[in-house]
Amino acid sequence: MTDVIIIGAGPAGCTAAKTLAQTGYSVILLEKNKLPRYKSCSGQIIKKTADLIREYFGEDIPQSVTCAPALNKGMVFTNRFGKEFVFEQNGYNVWRNNFDMWLCEKAAACGAKILEEQTVVSCRSTEDAVDIEMAGKNRYKARYVIDCEGAVGTVKRKLLNKKDRSIITFQTFNKGSVDLDHHYFYAFLQPELSQYDSWLNVKDNNIVIGVAVKDQQNIDMYYNRFVDYLSKKYFLKIQQQLKTDKWLMPLVDNKHSIECGVGRVLFAGETAGFLNPMGEGISSAVESGYCAARAVMSCFETPASLLSKYEESIQPLRDYMKRQWEFVSKLNGFR
Ligand SMILES: Cc1cc2nc3c(=O)[nH]c(=O)nc-3n(C[C@H](O)[C@H](O)[C@H](O)COP(=O)(O)OP(=O)(O)OC[C@H]3O[C@@H](n4cnc5c(N)ncnc54)[C@H](O)[C@@H]3O)c2cc1C
């Protein structure tokens, strides 16, 4: 019997694992992929994330996980009418596999046992524990589970017996040139360019171009239109496409809800539904992972109050997400 099992070695899972392990709880973190694992991401670490990492991990994000340009100066946001807004704020530009691996190593150094290539299939809460079914022959039992499996996981969907509302992201990494400052992340909300948002950023001389769509069959159409737009407006020239990736992201709109958990299983990060508009989710993953761990610690012997304790502690995060959504809606002319 382990005190707490955590599903998923992303920022939510690693933060929860570190927080619990450093206080002396026995912690196993189960990750379905081989580490360091790949995660499709723009790798923009906003100031809020950097501050949280400093607070919870006691260190600044190291240079070794950054890519060029290491400094991110903020975001340039073009609304649905083509009007541009610049938000200046210093942050970092990282490769997610390196950043998440660094978080993972910090959790391991505090005593969390990290097990890779371990896919959780389902969880079942009993009166005093959670039974965890794995894809292989292993079985685990824990007093509590923190489910941080991101947007691609299925454990939460099985527990709640419902489908998440998601969008599909598609990105390409390219050799080439573009007449934009590489220190900024550029997001575009014109409806003719995507079904949610489209974006451009630069990582180690790769020009990354992405679109988010609701229907898979629309990827090519929106992507080609976006490339055409960038070519005309910012003189984008692609010499060679190096790689592509496709992922899922929670669909954040005014119908979006946050789900905290069920029984002895708490949800954190994208699994709970935390994601800010334009796809910034690392800060809320770190914060909700921390809150979930603290809730388990304070309710370890009183499981009946676990969910309400967690809900109470993540209320400020929910409010922040709502304010972000309202802000973007206003800039965009939505009601
Ligand atoms: C294209 C794109 C660009 C983005 N850009 C940014 C950005 O620039 N800045 C930002 O802040 N956010 C960005 N985000 C959002 C950010 O990546 C996520 O919000 C963040 O990774 C969520 O962290 P998490 O810990 O909840 O989940 P994840 O990071 O997704 O981690 C979940 C982990 O769980 C594992 N897992 C899943 N299922 C199982 C299972 N059954 N058993 C065991 N392990 C499992 C996965 O392999 C994974 O390692 C972007 C997202 C996308 C798709």
CATH number, domain of 160, equals 3.50.50.60
**Does 86 map to a domain?**
no
**Does 127 map to a domain?**
yes
Ligand 1 touching residue 120 (CB < 6 A): yes
Ligand 1 touching residue 307 (CB < 6 A): no
18, 123: one domain: yes
**Does 120 map to a domain?**
yes
Number of domains in the chain: 2
35, 106: one domain: yes
**Does 74 map to a domain?**
no
The residue out of 250, 282, 297 marking a domain boundary is 250
128, 266: one domain: yes
**Does 151 map to a domain?**
yes
124, 27: one domain: yes
What's the CA gap between 325 and 319, in Å, rounded? 10
| Residue 209: Cβ within 10 Å count | 25
180, 295: one domain: no
**Cα separations (Å) of 74 from 43, 69, 87, 184?**
13, 12, 6, 5
209, 141: one domain: no
**Does 83 map to a domain?**
no
Q: Give which of 204, 199, 152 is closest to 172, Cα–Cα.
A: 199
Residue-level pLDDT at 255: 85
Residue 105: is it exposed, middle or buried by C-beta count within 10 angstroms (0-12/13-18/19+)?
A: middle
238, 317: one domain: no
262, 219: one domain: no
Q: Give which of 289, 258, 310, 262 is closest to 27, Cα–Cα.
A: 289
Residue-level pLDDT at 122: 96
Alpha carbon of 284 to ligand 1 centroid (Å): 11
Read off the tokens for 189: 């909300």
Q: What is the pLDDT of residues 99-135, one digit of tens each?
A: 999 999 999 999 999 999 999 999 999 999 999 999 9
Q: Please work out, in degrees rounded to the nearest 5, the angle formed at the alpha carbon of residue 131 by the alpha carbons of 5 and 156.
A: 70
Ligand 1 atom with least separation from CA of 154:
41
Nearest CA to ligand 1 atom 19: 281
Nearest CA to ligand 1 atom 27: 150
Alpha carbon of 33 to ligand 1 centroid (Å): 12
Ligand 1 atom with least separation from CA of 289:
25
Q: What is the pLDDT of residues 134-175, one digit of tens each?
A: 998 889 999 999 999 999 889 999 999 988 889 999 999 999
Residue-level pLDDT at 162: 86
Ligand 1 atom with least separation from CA of 14:
25
Three-state secondary structure readout of 37-83 = CCCCCCCEECHHHHHHHHHHHCCCCCHHHEEEEEEEEEEEEECCCCC
Ligand 1 touching residue 37 (CB < 6 A): yes
62, 186: one domain: no
Alpha carbon of 235 to ligand 1 centroid (Å): 32
Range of the domain at 305: 2-66+93-165+252-332
Alpha carbon of 240 to ligand 1 centroid (Å): 27
149, 37: one domain: yes
Ligand 1 touching residue 31 (CB < 6 A): yes
Ligand 1 atom with least separation from CA of 171:
1
Ligand 1 atom with least separation from CA of 119:
42
3-state helix, strand, coil in the chain (%, to 5): 35, 35, 30
Residue 94: is it exposed, middle or buried by C-beta count within 10 angstroms (0-12/13-18/19+)?
A: buried
pLDDT for residue 335 is more than 60: no
Backbone angles phi, psi at 141, to 5 degrees: -135, 135
136, 198: one domain: no
Ligand 1 touching residue 41 (CB < 6 A): yes
Alpha carbon of 111 to ligand 1 centroid (Å): 23
**Cα separations (Å) of 44 from 26, 41, 59?**
32, 8, 18
User: What is the average pLDDT value for the chain, to the nearest integer?
Assistant: 96
**Does 316 map to a domain?**
yes
Q: What is the pLDDT of residues 174-232, one digit of tens each?
A: 999 999 999 999 999 999 999 999 999 999 999 999 999 999 999 999 999 999 999 99
Ligand 1 atom with least separation from CA of 283:
11
The residue out of 202, 230, 250 marking a domain boundary is 250
Ligand 1 touching residue 40 (CB < 6 A): yes
CATH number, position 219: 3.30.9.10
The residue out of 222, 250, 278 marking a domain boundary is 250
Ligand 1 touching residue 249 (CB < 6 A): yes
| Residue 150: Cβ within 10 Å count | 23
98, 232: one domain: no
**Does 175 map to a domain?**
yes
